[in-house]
Structure 1
């Protein structure tokens, strides 16, 4: 019999969210050096959930450009989430979570970010000001949608900034790293929102690299950022109808006082299961998922759909997220179904980090988390 952990929903939310109060010891108060040289008292919680998670300074400071991300141009909800989470993942390769603390971006404010994602010439530019727009100049009036898609689509959708700080010998924290994510459209949509054409990968890459160089140049011009290492990632958004996010595909680093150099490929991809593709890379996982889905249909035939999202790194499945909508109303039936899922997961699903979310018209019903190498999953039934 697998173990079932029934805990209050609030506690689970805190655990999954990665932001919990101290569970032992005292939080440490430090002084933060700001760009205006005004000292602020900050707190570093005495808990770090995992080695790969950054500790966050308190009080929490919202991103200076957070309001911009909510706009329609930012892509799907999956893209909005992954462009931030993927940048965190990318940042760990340069800013070790053991040595660095995380803070949302404070140097590109909402007004600045909004001006940067405009087309050249669309902003109100003074006589001696540089045009802030990073997207191509708007084509002449009367240009067809098809021609715009080929020659001058607006590539840049939004910009994500993350800051990384270190502790000094005199118990102060100071900025020692910046990560920038540039979200780039992979499809061109006209003013009415109709999809016109897919933008070629080479085109996205070339434009993204040019924009990244300009962003670093502008950050270097800010007082206090002249010698801060800057990591840039290029993120390719998925189409608006997609149920998986896009992915980061290239990255480069601007070392202290320098511009970007040494662009590298990032091999990451999200895949929906079951997938109609015959790609050999996903064939085994797709077959396993179909067998898992069939086992569910045989036992409980009243499902509308079961959707899996696989995250692949370097061509290998790294994690799997599964959503299962149920139409049950009885508690005993729901618990019986959860027990059945737990029993068949080891038989059908790959041995990777797996999350199974069970929902109904009433909202979340249960969460199952299976880590690779563990015999028993974590199971939480909401409301118990």
Structure 2
């Protein structure tokens, strides 16, 4: 095979001159060379489901720190949102039309574990040290672990020479809002402290990334993520973001990220979401009218800049026969169109046997997508 050139310090993907894959038009076959010049065949899918989605290289390269997040994050909701929320921040800087996504390859598991340590246990640790004579119980209150996890995402672009090169990195710092001692005592960490510690750590993370080969001139987006408590049924959200531009040694221009998840029915005293809460209450009443002994219905709304962007509703039911499930799903679909016509809404109907039906209605659509499992 003819030797292919490498962009210094970067993973590179080169299109085979004039060649197309023999297995159809759904994917484009390319050659990837890493820093060690080892070649491997990868593919780029032609299909992009939504404008805000990035195309992902195939085979999918797992994050170099994969597996660490499960042990460090409080809930499954935080795990998912730490990654999805970072993608939303990345959309603002790395256009999905000409950027390809790859999970982070520059902060490996060993490095992440080291950075997440206390500085008294590992000199590279970003969390505060346990001072001499301080018990772990006291440290949990006076010097808590602020940083819970680090999420990295990579973005590549095609050059004029038909080469894909690294064009940007996004890093999310997941920060604890509550410190838990081994005895179970909870100590709340204020938003001001979380922000101060997060910005300080972000500067150090960017500084360390700049020392890696090939990353001295790569734009780095940083997001600060606030974890919710261990018993929360909604995820935390990113609350601040900044960018270290080409060659910059630290992130600058910190901006507030105004995102929030709200559970419905919400507290009646929460006037900010009163209108939506009233709609959801009426929606639930109509369901209760269909099934007088119906179990609880929970909705989770995602708000961005004060506007409701999406609504996910969980509807648990007793196991029904096929005809009864179809009838109820049709009834529920009509309610979704009536109450939430201008909001992206997903309704999951489940029973003890698992998923029964799914209703998805895009904002403004008159005909939602409806699927009844097993029918």
TM-score, scaled relative to structure 2? 0.90
Deviations 1:8-54 (A, max 9, x none): xxxxxxxxxxxxxxx97252223335334544432111111111110
After TM superposition, the structure 1 = structure 2 runs for residues 82-161 of structure 1, keeping only pairs within 5 Å, are 82-123=81-122, 131-143=123-135, 145=137, 147-161=138-152
Pairing of 1:64-75 with structure 2 (within 5 A): 64-71=64-71, 73-75=72-74
Specify the alignment match of 2:18 in structure 1.
none
| Matches of 1:308 and 1:26, distance apart in 2 | 37
Where relative contact order (Cα < 8 A, 6+ residues apart) is larger, the structure is: 1
CA contact (8 A) 1:289 1:349 kept: no
Verify: 1:366 aligned to 2:357, yes or no.
yes
| Distance of aligned partners of 1:382 and 1:55 in 2 relative to their CA distance in 1, 3 Å threshold | same
* 3-state secondary structure, aligned to 1:111: helix
The answer to whether residue 220 in structure 2 is matched with residue 230 in structure 1 is: yes
Distance 2:315 2:109 in 1: 37
The 3-state SS of whatever aligns with 1:249 is strand
**Offset at 1:280?**
2.5
2:296 and 2:344 map into 1 onto residues whose CA distance is 22
Secondary structure of the 1:70 match is helix
The answer to whether 1:270 aligns with 2:261 is yes
Aligned pairs for 1:53-72 (under 5 A) are 53-71=53-71
User: Structure 1 stretch 198-207 or stretch 334-343: which is displaced more?
Assistant: 334-343
2:188 alignment counterpart? 198
| Structure 1: gaps spanning 5 or more residues | 1-22, 124-130
The 1-side partners of 2:133 and 2:312 are apart by: 46
Cα displacement string for residues 36-73 of structure 1 (whole angstroms, at most 9, x for unaligned residues): 454443211111111111000111100000110121x3
* 1:64/1:109 contact within 8 Å kept: yes
- Cα distance in 1 for partners of 2:39, 2:272 equals 53
The match for 1:219 is: 209
Corresponding pairs, count: 353
Cα distance in structure 2, aligned partners of 1:350 and 1:250:
31
Say which is worse superposed, 84-93 or 41-50, in terms of deviation: 41-50
Cα distance, 1:274–1:38 mapped onto 2, change above 3 Å: same
Q: Which runs of 5+ in 2 are unaligned?
A: 1-22
TM-score under structure 1 length normalisation: 0.88
Q: 1:94 to 1:189 in 2, by over 3 A?
A: same
Q: Provide the alpha-carbon RMSD of the alignment.
A: 1.8
Residue number in structure 2 paired with 1:29: 29
CA offset at residue 140 of structure 1? 4.2
Corresponding residue for residue 377 of structure 1: 368
Map of 1:246 onto structure 2: 236
- 1:32 and 1:41 in contact (8 A); partners too: yes
Structure 1 residue 252 displacement after superposition: 0.5
Q: Does the Cα contact within 8 Å between 2:341 and 2:365 map onto a contact in 1?
A: no
Partners of 2:342 and 2:363 within 8 A in 1: yes
For the Cα contact (< 8 Å) 1:30–1:172, is it kept in 2? no
What's the offset of the Cα at 1:143? Answer: 4.3
- Partners in 2 of 1:34 and 1:190 — Cα distance? 43
Does structure 1 conserve the Cα–Cα contact (< 8 Å) formed by 2:136 and 2:181? no
Check whether the contact 1:29–1:44 (CA below 8 A) recurs between aligned residues: yes
The answer (yes or no) to whether the contact 2:346–2:359 under 8 Å persists in 1 is yes
Contact 1:244–1:272 (Cα < 8 Å) also in 2: yes
